[in-house]
């Protein structure tokens, strides 16, 4: 019914035009849904297209005969210029720090007290927890009493000996006894010192793992984690092919995707060992962390400046072709005259590439005019028409 209404509308429009032949648009035909009318219109357009193509071919042939320049290939060109070229090796790494450890006790026993809380800043050597000493404090006090007595005995024996009173053996025995007591006290103090758990460096208590009252084992029970965000670095693996280029002191651009932050850094250290499994060596990049936003294990993207050429010529990779022998070539312009020139094929040797451009090491010189658009459609020795520089 809808199609019938559309056809009646079109018929009424034709009649209203006073019997004049009016061309119906393609859109109207498609809207009508009339298969026969649509097919007829398509056939008419196809015939017109064939006629147009035939006429264009005839015109091109005549134009070539009358004016050969009218059918020259159209190209664009640019001037080769020497510029500074910095090549970057792009890698991924993760943040690490040597000051991120889990503290364990040196003495076994009951953890009597924890002096710190999570998030608290501590200084190097500060006592953060204590372990029950098992009566060692009392033993030390008794040993101190014995040492004091041995000291008194030794001092008296020493005075007598200086006055040539008494035997030498008595003097040596008193001295030996006193020194033995001192050594025993020092040894006990060292043992007793292990009951106090101290911070190995200045940092922040990140996590309290074991609470007071728990029984702990020396070197095994994890008490707490201490982290310092000052001396941070990024670890990454460098392919062995860059061993002469990526060395200590090289500039690095570091981007942290999570933070949306980019910083400038330098390689602080490179490894001396190549991993046989993946043929890489380690590198560490020191990163400043004044605002403490950079955390251990944070992912980082690295751009390492592994190569610099102060006088490089760069060209788009898209204009390079390759012959049957595997040689790369491009086209340059010769015999420039107004907007006409001759295309010359030149074999080139390329170097580093970065993004869409590549470095040319041999084949072209500073100032050469290089064909860009149309480079793949011209032939060696062909005259071309330049539409832009």
State how far the Cα of 111 lies from the Cα of 55, in Å rounded to an integer. Answer: 100
CATH number of 72-85+311-388: 2.40.420.20
Sheet holding 224-227, edge to edge: 100-103, 224-227, 203-208, 121-122
Closest to 289 measured CA to CA, from 201, 198, 203: 203
Residue 190: both structure tokens together? 């060292």
What's the pTM value of the predicted model, to 2 decimals? 0.54
CATH number of 101-127+199-227: 2.40.50.100
Evaluate the CA torsion angle 90, 92, 95, 101 in order and state its sign. negative
Q: Per residue in 193-214, pLDDT tens? A: 888 999 999 989 999 999 999 9
Closest to 313 measured CA to CA, from 79, 2, 34: 79
pLDDT (0 to 100) of residue 299 = 93
Tell me what the pLDDT averaged over the chain comes to.
85
Q: What residue spans define the domains of the chain?
A: 2-65, 72-85+311-388, 101-127+199-227, 133-194, 228-307
pLDDT (0 to 100) of residue 71 = 67
pLDDT (0 to 100) of residue 233 = 92
Instruction: Report, as ranges of residue numbers, the positions in the chain whose pLDDT lies below 50.
Output: 1-22
CATH number of 228-307: 2.40.30.170
Those residues whose C-beta lies under 8 Å from the C-beta of residue 14, and which sit 6 or more positions away, are 22
Torsional class of 234: left (φ above 0), alpha (ψ -120 to 50), beta (otherwise) = beta
pLDDT (0 to 100) of residue 281 = 93
Q: Backbone phi, then psi, for 365, in 5-degree steps?
A: -125, 170
pLDDT (0 to 100) of residue 5 = 39
Residue 34: CB atoms within 10 A of its CB come to 18
Task: Go through the chain and tell me how many residues it has.
Answer: 389
State how far the Cα of 22 lies from the Cα of 14, in Å rounded to an integer. Answer: 6
End-to-end CA distance of the chain: 62
pLDDT (0 to 100) of residue 226 = 94
pLDDT (0 to 100) of residue 18 = 41
Does 133-194 carry CATH code 1.10.287?
yes
């Amino acid at each position: 019914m809808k199609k019938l209404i559309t056809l009646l509308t079109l018929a009424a429009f034709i009649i209203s035009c006073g019997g004049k032949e009016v061309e119906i648009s393609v859109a109207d035909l498609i809207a009508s849904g009339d298969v026969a009318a649509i097919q007829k219109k398509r056939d008419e357009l196809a015939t017109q297209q064939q006629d147009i193509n035939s006429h264009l071919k005839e015109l091109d042939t005549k134009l070539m005969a009358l004016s050969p320049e009218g059918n020259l290939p159209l190209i664009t060109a640019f001037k080769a210029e020497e510029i500074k070229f910095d090549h970057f090796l792009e890698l991924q790494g993760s943040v690490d720090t040597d000051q991120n450890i889990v503290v364990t006790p040196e003495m076994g026993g009951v953890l009597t007290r924890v002096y710190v809380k999570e998030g608290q800043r501590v200084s190097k050597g500060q006592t953060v927890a204590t372990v029950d000493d098992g009566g060692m404090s009392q033993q030390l006090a008794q040993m101190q009493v014995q040492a004091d007595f041995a000291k008194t005995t030794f001092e008296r024996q020493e005075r007598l000996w200086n006055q040539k009173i008494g035997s030498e053996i008595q003097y040596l025995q008193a001295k030996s006894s006193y020194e033995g007591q001192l050594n025993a006290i020092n040894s006990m103090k060292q043992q007793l010192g292990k009951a106090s758990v101290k911070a190995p460096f200045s940092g922040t208590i990140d996590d309290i793992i074991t609470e007071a009252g728990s029984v702990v084992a020396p070197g095994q029970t994890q008490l707490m984690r201490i982290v310092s965000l000052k001396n941070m670095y990024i670890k990454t693996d460098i392919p062995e092919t860059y061993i002469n280029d990526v060395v200590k002191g090289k500039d690095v651009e570091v981007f942290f995707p999570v933070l949306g932050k980019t910083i400038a850094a330098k390689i602080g250290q490179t490894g001396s060992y190549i991993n046989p499994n993946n043929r890489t060596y380690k590198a560490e990049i020191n990163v400043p962390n004044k605002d403490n936003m950079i955390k251990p294990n944070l992912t980082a993207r690295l751009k390492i400046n592994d190569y610099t050429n102060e006088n490089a010529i760069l060209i788009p990779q898209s204009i390079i072709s390759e012959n049957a022998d595997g040689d790369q070539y491009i086209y340059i312009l010769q015999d420039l005259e107004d907007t006409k020139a001759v295309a010359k094929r030149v074999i080139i040797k390329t170097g580093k590439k970065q993004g869409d451009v590549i470095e040319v090491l041999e084949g072209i010189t500073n100032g050469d005019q290089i064909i860009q658009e149309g480079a793949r459609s011209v032939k060696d020795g062909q005259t071309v028409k330049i539409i832009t520089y």
